[in-house]
A and B are shown apart, each in its own frame.
Chain A
Amino acid sequence: MTGLTRPQIAWRIAQDIPDGAYVNLGIGAPELVANFLPEDREIVIHSENGILGMGPTPPEGEEDFDLINAGKKPVTLLPGGAYFHHTDSFAMIRGGHIDFCVLGAFQVAQNGDLANWATLDNSRPPGVGGAMDLAVGADRVLVMTDHCTRDGAPKLLDRCTYPLTGLGVVTRVYTDLAVIDIENDRFVVREVAAGIDRDALQAATGAELHFAEDCRAIETAPAAGT
């Protein structure tokens, strides 16, 4: 099954972030969302390590390693941006001041449970970072993930089997195959990638899917994914 590319998923997520929003983007693929935020909207990106108004990667040679994002990569500060210390940064997160966060996931359950910090493999040290704070604190927790693991196992499940990050926190999931809302402990499919039929999507999912009446194709930008 060929669905959306990562940049295409990121573009699709970016369309749902409204003007004026404060947004935290998780480490890894969610960082791509920043590249596709519509230019006619003022959206403020928060980085857990003490930045509001985070800007793009600086040109090579102009990096300042005291100015990094949560993934520890060099970034820039936009006009209007601010620096602050960690405890204030997490007050913003837990205190309900962040409108959206976009997180990756190992597993998402139909009741909105999220597992994205540890597996059942204990040989590697676990690391939670700010994921648990974001999960309970952001107004809306969006998940960006492949629909299945590399081995083809579903990541959207009846119940998570990995250690949880947060209970009932996820509001919407964007995968390479579909856009799915979590409503009343059910997966409600809003959009499906072009060329993916409903049976195939259900077969790739570890819980029952409910298709919205107005379920349609996922919109993609002509330039995304190229």
Chain B
Amino acid sequence: MINKQVHDFDSALAGLADGATIMVSGFGAAGAPHDLLEAALDRGIRDLTIISNNAGEGDRGLVRLMTERRIRKVVCSFPNSSNAEIVKELYSAGKLELEIVPQGTLSERIRAAGAGIGGFYTRTSVGTPLAEGKESRILDGEEYVFEKPLRADFAFVKGRLADRWGNLTYNKSARNFGPSMAMAGDITVAQVDEVVEIGDIDPEQVITPGIFVDRVIAVR
């Protein structure tokens, strides 16, 4: 029997250690798995590398980890937020490493890792500072930059519904990075609103098939 549902955060985060790399779904606050992040905070986890589109929004999740200085580095496309000053403060003080990646490149690097692709060429960033030091190649007369896959020890994603096999649905634009990140974590943990019985999710509505998910936890 397959049962990926866990009922407490100790089980959800089992194996998460200091120095881990964690992918965190969400675009701003939409789709951000705040409760998993805060459970990691409560367990004293530190020295984290975070892969996420943003570096925190509002006063939950990443912002709390950042405030408690648990994050060493963030790989993201857009760290600035109108309602979270902590990133700017830590960055200005030299206490936070940032790797800025164009948003589509970030998403595709994550997907590549999850899909077993050893990298790809993209026209995005050609001729800009974000292409410096990267291999480039002319294909059909146009310059492309080589980008490597991006994996993580853990992927934290937020879904709407799950079943015990780990099939996931999402809610509206909160889907964002969830499906790609779920593929790219060595251990993928999904925080969902509700865990339903096997068969209750219409197969046509499954967005992330359970094969990509290791643990699900319902958080209301």
- Bound together: yes
Contact with B along A129-151 (1 / 0, CB 8 A): 11111011100000000000000
Query: Is the CB–CB distance between A163 and B102 below 8 Å?
Result: no
Query: Is the CB–CB distance between B176 and A125 below 8 Å?
Result: no
Residue among B79, B170, B172, B177 facing the most chain A CB atoms (10 A cut-off): B172
A48 touches which of B103, B126, B129, B207 (Cβ 8 Å): B103
Within 8 A of A (CB), among B38-92: 53, 55, 57, 76-80, 87-88, 91-92
Within 8 A of A (CB), among B115-168: 122-130
Query: Is the CB–CB distance between B111 and A87 below 8 Å?
Result: yes
* With A125-B91, A133-B124 as contacts: A94 and B172 at CB distance below 8 Å: no
A49 touches which of B55, B98, B125, B173 (Cβ 8 Å): B173
B1-9, B12-20, B27-35: which lies at the interface: B27-35
B104 touches which of A84, A90, A165 (Cβ 8 Å): A90
Residue among A51, A129, A165, A167 facing the most chain B CB atoms (10 A cut-off): A129
**A21 interface residue (CB < 8 Å to B):** no
**A93 interface residue (CB < 8 Å to B):** yes
* CB-based nearest A residue for B91: A125
Query: Is the CB–CB distance between B88 and A85 below 8 Å?
Result: no
Nearest chain B CB to A57 CB, angstrom units: 14
* With A49-B27, A50-B176, A66-B31 as contacts: A129 and B123 at CB distance below 8 Å: no
A-B contact count (CB 8 A): 139
**B175 interface residue (CB < 8 Å to A):** yes
Query: Is the CB–CB distance between B122 and A94 below 8 Å?
Result: yes
* CB-based nearest B residue for A168: B127
* With A127-B100, A163-B129 as contacts: A67 and B123 at CB distance below 8 Å: no
**B105 interface residue (CB < 8 Å to A):** yes
Query: Is the CB–CB distance between A127 and B79 below 8 Å?
Result: yes
A47 to B173, CA, bound (A): 9
**B-side contacts of A83, CB under 8 Å:** 170, 172-173, 175
A163 to B108, CA, bound (A): 23
Number of B residues near A (Cβ < 8 Å) is 49
Query: Is the CB–CB distance between A85 and B127 below 8 Å?
Result: no
**B191 interface residue (CB < 8 Å to A):** no
Residue among A67, A123, A136 facing the most chain B CB atoms (10 A cut-off): A136
Nearest chain A CB to B202 CB, angstrom units: 16
A72 to B180, CA, bound (A): 20
**A164 interface residue (CB < 8 Å to B):** yes
**A198 interface residue (CB < 8 Å to B):** no
A166 touches which of B30, B55, B127 (Cβ 8 Å): B127
Residue among A48, A118, A133, A135 facing the most chain B CB atoms (10 A cut-off): A133
A125 touches which of B98, B173, B177 (Cβ 8 Å): B98
**A201 interface residue (CB < 8 Å to B):** no
**B-side contacts of A93, CB under 8 Å:** 104
* Chain B interfacial positions (CB closer than 8 Å to A): 27-31, 53, 55, 57, 76-80, 87-88, 91-92, 98, 100-105, 107-108, 110-111, 122-130, 170-180, 207
The 5 closest A-B pairs by CB, nearest first: A90-B104, A133-B104, A66-B174, A72-B28, A127-B78
